[in-house]
Amino acid sequence: MKRISLTQYLIEEQRQHSNISSELRLLIEVVARACKTISHSVGKGALGDVLGTAGSENVQGEVQKKLDVISNQILLEANEWGGHLAAMASEEMETIHPIPNRYPKGEYLLLFDPLDGSSNIDVNVSIGTIFSVLKAPDGTTTPKEEHFLQPGAKQVVAGYALYGPQTVLVLTTGNGVHSFTLDREMGAWVMTQRDMQIPADTKEFAINASNARHWYPPVKRYVDEMLAGTTGPRGKDFNMRWIASMVADVHRILNRGGIFMYPADAREPDKPGKLRLMYEANPMAMLVEQAGGVATNGEQRILDIQPEKLHQRVAVFLGSKNEVELVTGYHQ
Ligand code: AHM
Ligand code: MG
């Protein structure tokens, strides 16, 4: 494959598609640059004194790791001054972060989970950054929290950086899903996969099976049928994978198919699952759909959900089309 840098790809996209403005291109490049910096910190590990807890809690009452806080700060600082954003929102911050008045403002809203898969940080397992871009409604440059509450179908960009054996950036601007590998010597993002496609059928599923006793009947039925193997109703064997980093699990699915599930369960009947709609489910759902997959909360398309709160949680079923449709059907 001819070496195409992220910059070159974005310029070509801008020429071809009217939905990509210069501001949006700059935004993506700035986020990608911030992810490079995060990747560098992640890579230093104990040598950079970035492991362990930060001694604080986030808005959801979860203990923050040092890298959660560092990554959040890197993304805020990188994106504040460029003039392309009206405001940001982060899984790690209680409320939105408007662009300070000393900087020019733009028309976009940026949302991110700065470091997803926090439980894997200290054990040197893949983690990632997830991001989503919306347009500020009515061109407002002083947005409030309610301006962020747009269904995922309104996202103009979604992507993630995966900090694994290689650092990769996977991106969609609504024209397919493409992957860029960080060339560490050159400090450049180089396109390594174009138009990633999720096969409609799969023999692999991902779910935290330690919660099985709490699952509701549709999920229990679906998983039991897969576990029954060749003699069960599915008539084939399934393999199971669970990395506990959504970015890494979704990356596997984008590469070789599969279904990822984080359902609501009976532990906390008022809580619709663990994952967050705006920072995790929406961007991943856009990527998955752009790659030919499906993403639902068991009842409806994730991208159609009208958010009510910034930190709202949602059940997630995403990946290979035929499997996600099957388990969604079991919920009807
Ligand atoms: P985080 O944002 O606090 O890191 O939590 C999200 C992560 C996902 O990456 C992953 O799919 C899930 O939590 C793992 O949950 P569990 O600990 O139940 O395995
Ligand atoms: Mg997360």
The structure tokens listed for 92 are 């790690």
Ligand with an atom nearest the CA of residue 273: 1
Per residue, what are the HEC states of 206-219?
ECCHHHHHHECHHH
Q: Residue 294: name the closest of 266, 323, 269 by CA.
A: 323
Total tally of structural domains belonging to the chain: 2
Both 209 and 183 in one domain: the answer is: no
* CB neighbours of residue 39 within 10 Å: 23
In which domain, by residue range, is 281 found?
204-331
The ligand 1 site (C-beta within 6 Å) comprises: 62, 113, 116-119, 208, 244-246, 262, 274
Nearest 5°: CA angle at 294, between 236 and 13?
130
**CA 181 to centroid of ligand 1, rounded, Å:** 24
Question: Are 172 and 215 contained in the same domain?
Answer: no
Q: What's the CATH code of the domain at 269?
A: 3.40.190.80
- What is the predicted pLDDT for the residue at 53? 86
> Of the residues 193, 228, 244, which one is the last residue of a structural domain?
193
52 and 180 in a single domain? The answer is yes
Specify the amino acid at residue 212.
Answer: A
Mean pLDDT taken over the chain:
95
User: Best mutation site among 69, 160, 208, 251 for ligand 1, i.e. most ligand atoms within 8 A of its Cβ?
Assistant: 208
Which are the contacts of 327, defined by CB distance < 8 A and separation ≥ 6? Answer: 218, 219, 222, 259, 261, 298, 317
How crowded is residue 149: how many other Cβ atoms within 10 Å of its Cβ? 17
For the stretch 162-181, pLDDT in tens is: 999 999 999 999 999 999 99
| 260 and 167 part of one domain | no
In a domain, 92, yes or no: yes
Task: Take atom 18 of ligand 1 and give the residue whose Cα is closest.
Answer: 208
Long-range contacts of 45-52 (CB under 8 A, 24+ apart): 45/124, 51/121, 51/122, 52/122
Residues 183 and 38 in one domain: yes
Detail the residues annotated as belonging to a binding site for Mg(2+): 91, 113, 115-116, 280
Among 149, 172, 193, which residue terminates a domain? 193
Question: pTM for this one?
Answer: 0.96
213 shares a domain with 103: no
Residues 175 and 275 in one domain: no
The ipTM of this complex is 0.97
Residues 143 and 78 in one domain: yes
* pLDDT tens, residue by residue, 240-283: 999 999 999 999 999 999 999 999 999 988 889 999 999 999 99
DSSP state of 79: H
CATH code, domain carrying 100? 3.30.540.10
274 CA to centre of ligand 2 in angstroms: 9
